[in-house]
Amino acid sequence: IPVQEQDWVVVGATPEELLKRKYRQVGRDFPVFLHPETKEEYALARTERKSAPGYYGFICDFSESVTLEEDLARRDLTINAMAMDEQGNLIDPYQGQRDLEEKLLRHVSPAFAEDPVRVLRVARFASRFHHLGFKIANETRLLMYSMVKQGELAHLIPERVWQEWQKSLQEKNPEQFILSLRSCDALRVVLPEINSLFGVPNPHQYHQEIDTGIHSLMALRASSELSEEPLVRFAALVHDLGKASTPIQDWPKHHGHEEEGTKLIRALCARLRIPNDYRDLAVTVARAHLNIHRVCELRPNTIVKLLEQVDAFRRPQLFHKILIACQADAESCGKTVVYRQTQLWNEILSECVKVTPQTFIVQGYEGK
């Protein structure tokens, strides 16, 4: 894994000393400074003590007496609680190197439970390192479960939930974020809209071997193979959100789940402050995915109307993203699928844009 940046921990210093050396303070709540030349981050060693529920309920101590080991003790995972001095010596008081070798995501100490964001971070790390064989340590998963049961996750702010979710959508295995949260019952609290899809059956002609929750994760997995864009992956994951609202007596059919899904997607995006471009693409995919699949069954005027509804003429690149999300849906059944609809829709759009008023004028047509 390539090194993206270097962060430094400064022991035995004060903010005043760093300011005198021309470091620029950038942390409002924490003593973080930028090096005057390299612009790398230098943070004073600090400890944190829980003072109130939630993400902001901490008292920080960044006095000169705080040691490096005490600073590392506040980290979330052992693999994040290692340091290296300027001579290249590894400082590893919590066996992070061992857990790296064993490919385990393990919490440093019981203080992990003081910050609910750490549940989301562990799930994100699980999505980032899954392809390398990393797993969440059993004791860490149990601690995460305990945090859920104690209601600590209720203090998470919407923006932070989305921040971690969005980051996970950029990882190699974004579905592992959802699976990890579900494994400790956090999905029920953090993303109940997604959690409610599990246990909802699919129609017999579509994905009958799996429920809607698993199907949605498989669509997310398929979309990550087709596109690196988190917008597309998000749309693929939530395209069937409306099925959670189907009355049980109507199962396994889900008539009207497309429009119902658009309402739920809008509500989800409003709740978590999700950007409009994510919302708009997801709503369009939820509304149009069945007709995208059925292109060979549609009448010509219906096809043109759909192209207009999804703004394909003005925004062909957006239409391309819609098609990728729909292809991911089709490929999520677990079987080998040749999705010819993408080529058909592209050919149809290509022919449609060739039609201009001049085309009819030369044929003698008149209009008002």
pLDDT digit string, tens, across residues 6-28: 889 999 999 999 999 999 998 77
The HSE-up count of residue 92 (CA atoms within 13 Å, CB side) is: 12
Both tokens of 39, joined, read 């612009």
Alpha-carbon distances, residue 213 vs 189, 202, 232, 349 (angstroms): 16, 10, 18, 33
Residue 334 has pLDDT above 70, yes or no: no
With H, G, I as helix, E, B as strand and everything else as coil, classify residue 326. Answer: helix
User: Could you tell me the pTM of the whole model?
Assistant: 0.88
Spell out the domain ranges in the chain.
1-74, 97-190, 195-368
Q: pLDDT tens-digit profile of 278-297?
A: 999 999 999 999 999 999 99
| Number of C-beta neighbours around residue 205 at 10 A | 7
Q: Give the model's pLDDT for residue 309.
A: 95
| 73: helix, strand or coil | helix
Q: Is the pLDDT of residue 144 over 70?
A: yes
Instruction: For the chain, give the mean pLDDT.
Output: 91
**CATH architecture for residues 97-190:** Orthogonal Bundle (1.10)
How confident is the model at residue 208, as a pLDDT? 57
Count of C-beta atoms within a 10 Å radius of residue 125:
22
Residue 226: is its pLDDT beyond 80? yes
What is d(CA 325, CA 249) in angstroms, rounded to the nearest whole number? 29
Q: Note the pLDDT tens digit of each residue in 233-267.
A: 999 999 999 998 787 877 777 676 888 999 999 99
Q: Which two tokens stand for residue 338?
A: 């040749």
What is the number of other CB atoms lying within 10 angstroms of the CB of residue 237?
A: 26
Per the DSSP assignment, residues forming a β-bridge with 41 are 7, 34
Closest CA to 289 of 229, 228, 241: 241
What pLDDT was estimated at residue 206? 58
The contacts found for 252-256 with CB under 8 angstroms, 24 or more apart, are 252/201, 252/202, 252/203, 252/204, 252/208, 253/203, 254/202, 254/203
User: Among the residues of the chain, which ranges form H helices?
Assistant: 15-20, 68-73, 96-102, 117-129, 138-149, 158-168, 175-183, 187-190, 192-195, 212-226, 230-238, 257-271, 276-293, 300-309, 316-331, 341-352, 357-361
Sequence-separated contacts (24+) of 347-350 with Cβ below 8 Å: 348/295, 348/303, 348/307, 349/307, 349/312, 349/313, 349/316, 349/319
Residues whose CB is less than 8 angstroms from the CB of residue 119 and which lie 6 or more positions away in sequence, other chains included: 144, 147, 148, 153, 181, 184, 186, 190
Q: What is the mean pLDDT of residues 328-339?
A: 80
Each residue of 27-81: pLDDT tens digit? 776 789 999 999 999 999 988 777 666 556 667 788 888 999 999 999 999 999 9
Which residues, other chains included, contact 143 with Cβ-Cβ below 8 Å and sequence gap of 6+? 107, 110, 112, 113
Gap between the Cα atoms of 208 and 201, Å rounded: 7
- Bridge partner residues of 84 (DSSP): 90
CA–CA separation, 215 and 213 (whole Å): 5
Higher pLDDT, 367 or 320: 320
Backbone angles phi, psi at 39, to 5 degrees: 65, 15
pLDDT at 112: 95
The predicted pLDDT at position 335 comes to: 60
Indicate the angle between helix axes 300-309 and 341-352, nearest 10 degrees: 90
- pLDDT at position 336: 64
Average pLDDT over residues 205-209: 58
Q: Is residue 30 helix, strand or coil?
A: coil
How open is the CA angle 138-118-126, to the nearest 5 degrees? 55
The pLDDT value recorded for residue 55 is: 57
Distance of CA 146 to the CA centre of its chain: 23
